[in-house]
């Protein structure tokens, strides 16, 4: 079977895109902190965490909450000290699978 240059370029481009996608992940997190806002309740804020495999190694995180908690101080406005991070269970499973895959291929 012959492959044309165009087909080969397309195959290589698709493979590179797949590798790039696997090298990073994003997921929504509800961050919480103990500083009380005007309502007298603890503060909370929804954010999307964007992390690369390289950042995962820097943070040395082994689970999604630890990863989000490590990401937050440098990326949330005001560098808040968070007291918690809530992640949807389905997202948690997806992120944990990515973390396991990155550490395994590390």
* Residue 81 within a domain: yes
Average pLDDT taken over every residue of the chain: 85
Beta bridge partners of 84: 32
Highest mean pLDDT among 2-16, 38-52, 82-96: 82-96
* Residue 1 within a domain: no
CB 90 within 8 A of CB 32: no
Beta bridge partners of 30: 46, 86
pLDDT at residue number 62: 95
Find the helix or strand (DSSP H, E) in which 46 lies: strand 42-52
- HSE, side-chain direction, 13 A CA sphere, residue 73: 7
Place 68 in a pLDDT band, splitting at 50, 70 and 90. Answer: very high
Query: 73 lies in which domain range?
Result: 25-105
Cα radius of gyration rounded to whole Å, the chain:
18
- HSE, side-chain direction, 13 A CA sphere, residue 51: 30
Task: Read off the DSSP letter of residue 77.
Answer: G
Question: Stretch 3-22: mean pLDDT, rounded?
Answer: 73
Highest mean pLDDT among 5-19, 34-48, 52-66, 76-90: 52-66
CB 30 within 8 A of CB 15: no
Write down the pTM of the prediction.
0.73
Number of domains the chain contains:
1
Share of residues in the chain with pLDDT > 90 (%): 47
pLDDT at residue number 51: 95
* Residue 17 within a domain: no
* Residue 60 within a domain: yes
* Residue 4 within a domain: no
């Amino acid at each position: 079977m012959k492959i044309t240059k165009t087909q080969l370029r397309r195959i290589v481009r698709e493979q590179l895109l797949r590798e790039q996608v696997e090298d990073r992940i994003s997921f929504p997190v509800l961050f919480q902190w103990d500083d009380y806002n005007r309502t007298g309740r603890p503060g909370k804020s929804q954010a999307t965490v964007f992390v690369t495999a390289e950042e995962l190694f820097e943070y040395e995180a082994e689970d999604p909450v630890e990863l989000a908690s490590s990401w937050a101080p440098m990326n949330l406005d005001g560098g808040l000290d968070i007291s918690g991070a809530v992640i949807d269970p389905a997202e948690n499973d997806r992120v944990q699978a990515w973390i396991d895959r990155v550490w395994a291929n590390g």
